[in-house]
Amino acid sequence: MSTTDRSLAPDRTDWTTVRSDFPFLERRIDGQPVIYLDSANTSQKPRQVIDAMSTFMATGYAPINRSAYRMAGEATDAYENARRAVARFVNAPSADEIIFTKNATESINLVATAWGRQNLGEGDVVVLTHMEHHANIVPWHMLAAERGIELRWVPLTADGQLDLTDLDRLLDGAKMFSFTAMSNVLGTLPPVEHLCTAAHAAGAVAFVDACQFVPHNATDVQAWGADLVAFSSHKMCGPSGIGLLWGRMELLDSMPPFIGGGNMIDDVRLDGFTTAPVPAKYEAGTPPIVEAIGLGAAVEYLEAIGMDEVRRHEMELTRYALDTLVGRYGHDITIHGPTNLEVRGGVLSFAFRDIHPHDVSQVLDERNICVRAGHHCAKPLMRLLGANATARASFYLYNTTDDVDALADALDGATDIFGL
Amino acid sequence: MSTTDRSLAPDRTDWTTVRSDFPFLERRIDGQPVIYLDSANTSQKPRQVIDAMSTFMATGYAPINRSAYRMAGEATDAYENARRAVARFVNAPSADEIIFTKNATESINLVATAWGRQNLGEGDVVVLTHMEHHANIVPWHMLAAERGIELRWVPLTADGQLDLTDLDRLLDGAKMFSFTAMSNVLGTLPPVEHLCTAAHAAGAVAFVDACQFVPHNATDVQAWGADLVAFSSHKMCGPSGIGLLWGRMELLDSMPPFIGGGNMIDDVRLDGFTTAPVPAKYEAGTPPIVEAIGLGAAVEYLEAIGMDEVRRHEMELTRYALDTLVGRYGHDITIHGPTNLEVRGGVLSFAFRDIHPHDVSQVLDERNICVRAGHHCAKPLMRLLGANATARASFYLYNTTDDVDALADALDGATDIFGL
Amino acid sequence: MAGLEDLYREIILDHYRSPRNRGELPTPPAVRAEGHNPLCGDEITVFIDVDDSEGEGVVRDVKVSGQGCSISQSSASMMSQAVIGKSVPEVLAVVKRFKGMMSLDTGNDDDTGADEPTIGTGGDGAEHPLGDLEALQGVVKFPVRIKCATLAWNTLLEALDQ
Amino acid sequence: MAGLEDLYREIILDHYRSPRNRGELPTPPAVRAEGHNPLCGDEITVFIDVDDSEGEGVVRDVKVSGQGCSISQSSASMMSQAVIGKSVPEVLAVVKRFKGMMSLDTGNDDDTGADEPTIGTGGDGAEHPLGDLEALQGVVKFPVRIKCATLAWNTLLEALDQ
Ligand SMILES: Cc1ncc(COP(=O)(O)O)c(C=O)c1O
Ligand SMILES: Cc1ncc(COP(=O)(O)O)c(C=O)c1O
């Protein structure tokens, strides 16, 4: 579907109502509303999620998978329902393929450690891209230090897309291709399906860091043809303290465990142990029970709105923001990343005149505008951009064009102070 | 202070008020109250904790350590305040020595992996005890499988205490002594200080699994002389999704990281990375933000009551339960573990006539009495007890002697059905 | 709410108190599989002796050892009775039917063919194709106990897989 | 709430626009240390040349390179001015005093002795022992910026440690 088609479709969603679901956005500081433009970092939570968690803690909290009384059974069912909801949300073939971790970072470490230790030795190749988040770099560095694997990097084009010219050569002989489905700095949406196909053609496992993608787009892990996909609850209206890993059962089944302890075992003796079936095998210890309930509520919340709607809304906001900021500030603002909205999500990293991003963010904060200034946990990418920081405004379903206007207005203030 | 002294002291706490702080306990099923005796598994949450989390999500939720606007600064402060509260609660010398993990199981895996890989090789010895939870067994099995370390086990006496006769011989040449501060099956409270001293005398690191201890007793990691201590939020009135590791800074500083990603780095380049200082070094990715806030509230809640009071209350409940159950059922009930309450916490694992624990729990559940039946994630210990399961009633600050009476009454029902 | 009488039927308690086919079989010729219920610690060992001398293979003998709750033990006892003397395909059909009964989803017994095997000591196969095993139907109302009831059956499948 | 004018004092903006002692020094004789502010990505390199020829050691020269926000850059610039020509113990005293000013805890400046070194371009040491650096006092009202202000100083300490 092209952008134009989408804009012509009637706007089914009342975004003002959506916004009013988020109590945080009703907060006033010095009488002024808070304008939250840091959702690529972590998202706000709708009342529905907050209430689901409080209600569960107040009336239904009980252990999972351990005790046999009804309340424990009900809590376990609620926990497993959340797993089913997540599976449905990303179109996983089976709920048992969804692993609850603590965050996407743990999901990626799980794969790098469990799969990596089993399958990678001296000289084996893992391919990453220049736009990865530290979460999809450091675990591989750790593995490289431990067992001498080689890391190769897919470079970027001038407008911040993956430069795939040499992809086949890079993938040649690789055992793993791990890449982001959306850059948290540039907003770039790489061609995931194509990359998975290329990985498989080279005999590599295709691992997708979908942290930034899943919260903002309809996700279909099967259509992607991916082998493993990591994402996080806290960026998709769900609570902190829980992350996700989806993987093909065959792979999850064959990998050794990552964290050992209760719940992930079949039997434990003084001289060894055997593991429980997936997903329990990867969920050692007391899991994020309350968090799973919250995440389930978040998924239902997003499903009710529809992820295509969310994407369309964010595309419109992004177009409006690009038009407004460039229209107003021309060459005084540099917005990184692709301008074609088909391949970019609602993340705007920018440089404003010669003012340091940290100072930009300070001036915006004066008007309660929350943007992130820094390296966005992507230092290798920042070096490529020739900056050690950018300011980043990122949108979500609760943002409006008013927020964009407020951002544009507030930038003027920076000029006043720094007189540049 | 002896038991008798404690009983003579005036009861400072109004336990009925305490109980009314826990909304779960007001729940009725079929008109009957819920009697929660599964706190060794996971504890219920007071209103104060639930409210702290909801309020934070509704009005203060923002990223930690990443963005520079005020709300992010405030959220970071709140998160760090929780760290300080936990440090105070266990008398850690510095808040920076408190690491937030996802649960105690991750804390133990962190040590087994990060410290273990750095310090243990073929033939090196780790000493555990026969009363460990799977969380303090499986990570060491995993390490043993990977690098051929030797595990030695401190045996038990007939009444379920550690048999320390051969301790020095077991510790001879050991590099690590990892042991529980309270058995989750037997309630046994081993002499932690003595064990730490013995570990150090042998040149071993002393690692305490304090999961069951911290929620129920005043904890002083310095008085113990421990090197590392793991525990969990969800067992101490706090939320799920967050665990704790305390360690001496010197050790934490020298260990390599466990999970790699954002926040734990100082710098990341294409060819490697450097780590951030402790605690960030061990907190990769978006941390359990909301959960830390909840845990902070839980700590404050427990502090206001006083952990000595909690311990006294549970001692009284345990004595009452032992008296009542043995008084009523005599030899028909076998309660495992020490009878000296000075060395036992409020955990009662029992066998009732010849009825299988699972059936006992079923019958109790009919009266909304929640006990755990099973191996309690301690299969090696269960084998020693000659059972593959026990029923376990465990107490916390919200339990009363009425709960004990209800348990004792309900056990009669089991006899009716099974006619034994 | 389902009452305890739905769970603890007399037939179940009878099999629990006097389990049939307890014990072990020499391996080989029998094969042996172990099952654990990680929830409650139940451990069961199933020995199955299949006579492969002609065609499909016929279950000559089954023995069960291990410890467990009333539901897992009685289900194991009934299972042993239900499969002895049956051909392997017949056994698989019984397992499938039993697991169907133990499933929380309703309406998934769309494979009630005419050629279903009858089982058990009761004998009146047409109306009660699972015989004694029907007594375990009440377990479905106590979802946490389903794993107890299916433990012996899953272990049987593992043994047959060998 | 503190206004932006508390943060962005004219002196600070002046040091930001025209940073003093930018550049590098040959190592050796100088030593070099790098500092990162992981929050915002600021990177700073401090070069310090200490003349150890007699006794305590005297800071002969300091240069600063790297990129950063107005606060970290101006603080680095002022730092360089404040330490050039001082003895190592004097430098340490200035660092301590500066970090004291940047600390959120109030009332921890109980070590205001008479022998405190005076610093900076302003000169009227008695009333303003930190000279220009006093302008950075407003940063404390913006706690997330404290790390920006102290970056150069921590990096200086690292360089001195070598
Ligand atoms: C003694 C002991 N150690 C470790 C654990 C594991 O704690 P968690 O489940 O929070 O990881 C538990 C609780 O289950 C326990 O009782
Ligand atoms: C692209 C990308 N990958 C990985 C992560 C790490 O996710 P988390 O912090 O939930 O572990 C993030 C978010 O910080 C991200 O944006």
A370 is catalytic: no
Scored b (16 or more CB within 10 A) or e, B389-406 reads bbbbbbbbbbbbeebbeb
Whether residue B68 is found in the same domain as residue B188: yes
Whether residue B282 is found in the same domain as residue B340: no
Whether residue B204 is found in the same domain as residue B285: yes
Binning pLDDT at 50, 70 and 90, where does residue C38 land?
confident
Q: Report CA-CA distances (Å) from D42 to A87, A356, C124, D70.
A: 40, 10, 82, 11
Torsion, CA A134, CA A136, CA A139, CA A141, rounded to 10? -70
Find the B105 Cα to ligand 1 centroid distance in Å: 6
List the structure tokens of A225. Answer: 């043809």
User: How many structural domains comprise chain A?
Assistant: 2
| pLDDT reported for residue B387 | 87
Q: Which helix (H) or strand (E) holds A121?
A: none
Whether residue B367 is found in the same domain as residue B271: no
| pLDDT reported for residue D105 | 55
Average pLDDT of the residues of chain B: 95
pTM of the model: 0.93
Query: pLDDT tens digits, residue range D118-148?
Result: 444 444 444 456 778 888 888 988 888 998 9
Binning pLDDT at 50, 70 and 90, where does residue C107 land?
very low
Query: pLDDT tens digits, residue range A280-306?
Result: 999 999 999 999 999 999 999 999 999
Q: Cα separation of A66 and B250, whole Å?
A: 37
Which structural domain, as residue segments, surrounds residue B347? 306-418
B261 lies in some domain? yes
Binning pLDDT at 50, 70 and 90, where does residue D112 land?
very low
B40 lies in some domain? no
Mean pLDDT for the stretch of residues B107-118: 97
Pairing mode, if any, of strands B125-129 and B150-154?
parallel
A264 lies in some domain? yes
- The DSSP annotation for B315-334 comes to HHHHHHHHHHHHHHHGGGEE
Distance from CA of D60 to the nearest CA of B (A): 30
Pairing mode, if any, of strands A272-275 and A333-335?
unpaired
Q: Cα separation of A63 and A290, whole Å?
A: 10
Kindly give, in sequence order, each residue whose CB lies less than 8 Å from that of residue B322, ignoring residues fewer than 6 positions away: B335, B339, B348
CATH for B345 = 3.90.1150.10
Residue of A244, A215, A212 lying closest to A106 (CA atoms): A244
Of A303, A322, A347, the domain-final residue? A303
Q: Cα separation of D160 and C158, whole Å?
A: 68
B35 lies in some domain? no
Query: pLDDT tens digits, residue range B286-343?
Result: 999 999 999 999 999 999 999 999 999 999 999 999 999 999 999 999 999 999 999 9
Q: Cα separation of B237 and B299, whole Å?
A: 8
CB A232 within 8 A of CB A243: yes
| pLDDT reported for residue D119 | 47
Whether residue B228 is found in the same domain as residue B358: no
Higher pLDDT, C6 or A402: A402
Q: Cα separation of A257 and A191, whole Å?
A: 31
Higher pLDDT, B65 or C119: B65
Are 3 or more Cβ–Cβ pairs between C and D shorter than 8 Å? Answer: no
Of B303, B333, B348, the domain-final residue? B303
CB B371 within 8 A of CB B392: yes
Does residue A178 line the site of ligand 2, with CB under 6 A? no
Kindly give, in sequence order, each residue whose CB lies less than 8 Å from that of residue D162, ignoring residues fewer than 6 positions away: D31, D33
Does residue B209 line the site of ligand 1, with CB under 6 A? yes
Whether residue B186 is found in the same domain as residue B102: yes
Query: pLDDT tens digits, residue range A133-149?
Result: 999 999 999 999 999 99
Higher pLDDT, A2 or D135: D135
Is B268's pLDDT higher than 80?
Answer: yes
Q: Cα separation of A269 and B140, whole Å?
A: 12
B152 lies in some domain? yes
Query: pLDDT tens digits, residue range A163-221?
Result: 999 999 999 999 999 999 999 999 999 999 999 999 999 999 999 999 999 999 999 99
Cβ burial of B218 (10 Å; 0-12, 13-18, 19+) is middle
CB distance from B379 to chain C under 8 Å?
yes
Among A307-321, B341-355, B363-377, D90-104, the minimum mean pLDDT is found in: D90-104
Scored b (16 or more CB within 10 A) or e, A263-275 reads bbbbbbebeebeb
Q: Cα separation of A288 and A326, whole Å?
A: 44
Of B254, B279, B303, the domain-final residue? B303
**Cβ count near D45 (within 10 Å):** 17
Average pLDDT of the residues of chain A: 95
Beta strands in B166-251 (DSSP E): 174-180, 205-209, 228-232, 243-247
Mean pLDDT for the stretch of residues B242-265: 97
Whether residue A253 is found in the same domain as residue A325: no
Whether residue B281 is found in the same domain as residue B333: no
A contacts of D42 (beta carbons < 8 Å):
358, 388-389
- What letter would DSSP give residue A198? H
Nearest chain C alpha carbon to A277: C38
Q: Compute the half-sphere exposure of residue B122: CA atoms within 13 Å on the CB side of its CA.
A: 0
- What letter would DSSP give residue B108? H
Whether residue B226 is found in the same domain as residue B272: yes
Q: How many residues does chain A have?
A: 420
A44 lies in some domain? no
Q: What are phi and psi of B350, to 5 degrees?
A: -145, 160
- What letter would DSSP give residue C22? B
Q: Cα separation of B245 and A269, whole Å?
A: 26
List the structure tokens of A197. Answer: 């196909």
| pLDDT reported for residue B11 | 60
| % residues pLDDT > 90 (chain A) | 92
Query: pLDDT tens digits, residue range D57-106?
Result: 899 999 999 988 999 999 999 999 999 999 999 999 999 999 999 986 54
Q: Cα separation of B154 and D133, whole Å?
A: 61
Residue of C46, C139, A265 lying closest to B374 (CA atoms): A265
**Cβ count near A303 (within 10 Å):** 12
Whether residue B74 is found in the same domain as residue B152: yes
Which structural domain, as residue segments, surrounds residue C90? 2-161
Is B135's pLDDT higher than 60?
Answer: yes
- The DSSP annotation for A243-262 comes to EEEEE-HHHHHHSPPSS-ST
| pLDDT reported for residue C1 | 54
Q: Cα separation of C23 and B395, whole Å?
A: 40
* ipTM for the complex shown: 0.91
Residue of A373, A311, A371, A375 lying closest to A343 (CA atoms): A311
Binning pLDDT at 50, 70 and 90, where does residue A65 land?
confident
Q: Which residue type sits at C37?
A: N
| pLDDT reported for residue D129 | 61
List the structure tokens of A289. Answer: 């029970």
- What letter would DSSP give residue C134? G
| Residue in A102, A131, A216, A235 to alter for ligand 2 test, most ligand atoms within 8 A of Cβ | A235
User: 114-143 in C: which are within 8 Å (CB) of A?
Assistant: 143
Whether residue B341 is found in the same domain as residue B412: yes
| Neighbour order of strands in the sheet with A333-335 | A333-335, A347-352, A390-394, A372-374
Whether residue A290 is found in the same domain as residue A323: no
A contacts of C36 (beta carbons < 8 Å):
266-267
Among A125-129, A151-155, A344-348, C48-52, the minimum mean pLDDT is found in: C48-52
Mean pLDDT for the stretch of residues C135-160: 91
B19 lies in some domain? no
CB distance from D151 to chain A under 8 Å?
no
CATH for D53 = 3.90.1010.10
User: How many structural domains comprise chain C?
Assistant: 1
CB B325 within 8 A of CB B352: no
CATH for B63 = 3.40.640.10
Q: Cα separation of A24 and B54, whole Å?
A: 11
A36 lies in some domain? no
